[in-house]
Structure 1
Amino acid sequence: MDKISQLPDDLLLRILSLLPTSKDVVDTMVLSKRWKFLWMFVPRLLYDDSHQDTDYARFSRFVDRSLSVHKAPVLETLHFKLGKICGAGDVHIWIRAADKFSVRELIIEIDSSSSASPAILPRSLYTESSMLVTLKLNNAILLDVSSSVSFPYLINLSLLSVKYPGNEFVNSLLSNCHVLEDLVVEQCPDDNVTIFTVNVPSLKYLDLHTSDDRVVDFAHGFLIDAPNLEWFDIRDVTGGFCVIENNMPNVSEAYIDVTYTLPREILSCITSVQYLDLCLLTSHDAYPVGSIFCCLVRLTICTCETECYPYVQLCVGVRKIIRTAVYIHFANTPLNLLMRVLKDSPKLKSLKLEQHHIRRANQLPIYWSEPSSVPECVSGNLETLEWLDYEGREEEKQVVAYILRFGSCLKKVTIKPESTSYDRDKLVMIKELSFLPRSSPACRLSFD
């Protein structure tokens, strides 16, 4: 301990910042006189009551006392992990402390794994946290404010299972974050928002997820205006919609997993994408005819199949959404979509096929017909093919055979049979694929 105590204060404070919680940091004061007041200058504080090892009143007093004597001129991080008992008055006081210490990163997490109710965050969050660069909220309720919300330095914002006063509040909150670059949203079932509007010109990274158990009986979805976006992830299996008001020519990486019957609004705006992970309800009208993914080099497509989904008709011009209760079955959706994207992606080098979702036991059989012309990427650029959860169905064998036969630049083809397949079935699959003709003599076929 004496050798450690001889280290400079800056290094000791970095060591203290690595301890699990602020309680652990405060406990170091008993080590020696050298450590007695050092904990007061630690730039990162984590108060954890999620395990509820102590009663909440005792935890609250500890937070109040430690913050009242803390002397760091600037707190880099103030992090609260709270259990199912959380006082709104306490949270108000702690948020005021964030402004006192010019906190750069504020994180408030309410345990959502138990029966914990969301924490009601005070209006002071918008007025007394002016120096925030990062704000992360989990399982919280935001209150409406009469004046405009403004976070002048906020770059990173994470809203997980957050409830809002309504659509207009969300629009006001995000549109007044003028330097925001990174936004993560995970909608909970009852967040009071029907159209989640993201109007942030400065945004570079956008992650939108909708809860799978979100029950909606009216039109709902996302309205996005983020022309400088570089990274885009959207997952919505509730049958809503996504309207993008301006093209996003800087998007280089995108993850699209939606059950929209008309996904062209998304794909037509990100044709500059270099890496694309795709799971769609339909290949029909997935993107406008003539669209070319001229920069796409890596593609992942989900091979799960759909049966019947509600058809949603959009009237974008007046921003009104009309839902019609018509159900459509789209046959061989993933393979049709695969061949279409291959045709429109001349520079593609890496292709991966996998199941993102559980296949239904009563899935209808599908059929695949060989295209009349070979996609440019298959004959001239494709180097790797990876197929996860390969089942050995006839149409799957036909696709692998097609790519092996025309993939003149293939270097490696990896097939991973479905884990539930019997060993004997796997051996049959391996034997069948091993004897397929290959255009590329350098192609190596492996089975994981």
Structure 2
Amino acid sequence: MASFKITGGNRLHGEIEPQGAKNEALQILSATLLTEEPVTIHKVPNIRDVNKLIDLLKLMGVDVEKLGPESYRFTAKNVELSILETEEYKTMASSLRGSIMVLGPLLARFGKGKIPKPGGDKIGRRRLDTHFIGFQKLGAKFEYHAGDEFFHIDASDLKGTYILMDEASVTGTANIVMAAVLAKGQTTIYNAACEPYVQQLCRMLNSMGADIQGIGSNLLTINGVTALHGTEHQLLPDMIEIGSFIGMAAMTKSSLKIKNARVDQLGLIPDVFRKLGIQMEIIDDDILIPAQNNYEIETFIDGSIMTVADAIWPGFTPDLLSIVLVVATQAKGTVLIHQKMFESRLFFVDKLIDMGAQIILCDPHRATVIGLDRKQALRGIRMSSPDIRAGVSLLIAALSAEGVSIIDHVEQIDRGYQNIDDRLRALGADITRID
């Protein structure tokens, strides 16, 4: 177990470049299983979840070559399905929620697959029904064995069909798309997720020879092909990291430049932070956040309290609500944070309250934040990281607080943010990793 020791109160300065997108990487790396030809991927983030998936692909027989610090070549020519029966596979796959993403490619290319119940963040129920309902509609048959907690799937005869998804799940859409690209006939997916990462996956699959139409919309049409070939692909910058750095700059009164942010792919993220009173300037593809001693939350036109809620794309991503919440603790004004998609993601606010924040947890989905307007600094405490996003929110709070904070279980943060302590030290943060 590792911890961070943070002495807060330092202003940060300089430039930082976001890592490749974690959520895109888990889909793109899994898609390399769809062909026996080499697939080269650039901007692969060096984070625990992605590294675990790379190790899982290696275990399955994929040849992985590291071409540079952020570039890999994957060749899935000699995939060995017998590995799926081993205890090592069960252990590795069950420790990573992203392991569910290998299922679609396995079913499409090999006609069968199995996966243990995946792990991941403890942020409430994250059901997998959408994935399996989609596979079933394509003709797959599956069983769940409660004894060994394995999903067993037979997909020897996948056929295109019409699928109306019960929810616009990002991973569900990606998994069903990967299963459908090699199915016989045409598949139509309505109520599909259309996040930039799903768009990236579809474009990469098309570059491999797939026929996917409607990219960027919630209606995808996929004409199955017999085989896919190799390609080269670069991941987008991680929009969650970008939002985290915007919030970090505001909370620590810092001037930061976020380089190569792909602003055209950020959707509502800049606008939501502007509603909190955070100034920013877009210069080409960089975001400059100037040092601000104070920032004020907007109200709605009728004067009522601002509400920030998550929604499916192009709505505001749920992964940044924790960041918005912590940033609001030092703003002038009040905001209601409404986390609609996960019922346990706001429970970390008890740590912020212990630090001196004024927050009312209304229920598992809603929290009202009364900003302190810098009149009282947060104070350093010892706390634990419950999940990736809450962990970084607590890290931001600690960087702005008076005194010393200790954050335990930072392996959670490492799952989504590469070398975060080294990168923050380069900006002037006083942060030390304690093993």
TM range (shorter): under 0.3
Q: Which has the higher helix share?
A: 2
Please report the TM-score for the alignment, with normalisation by the length of structure 2. Answer: 0.24
* Structure whose CA Rg is larger: 1
Q: Which has the higher contact order (CA 8 A, sep 6+)?
A: 2
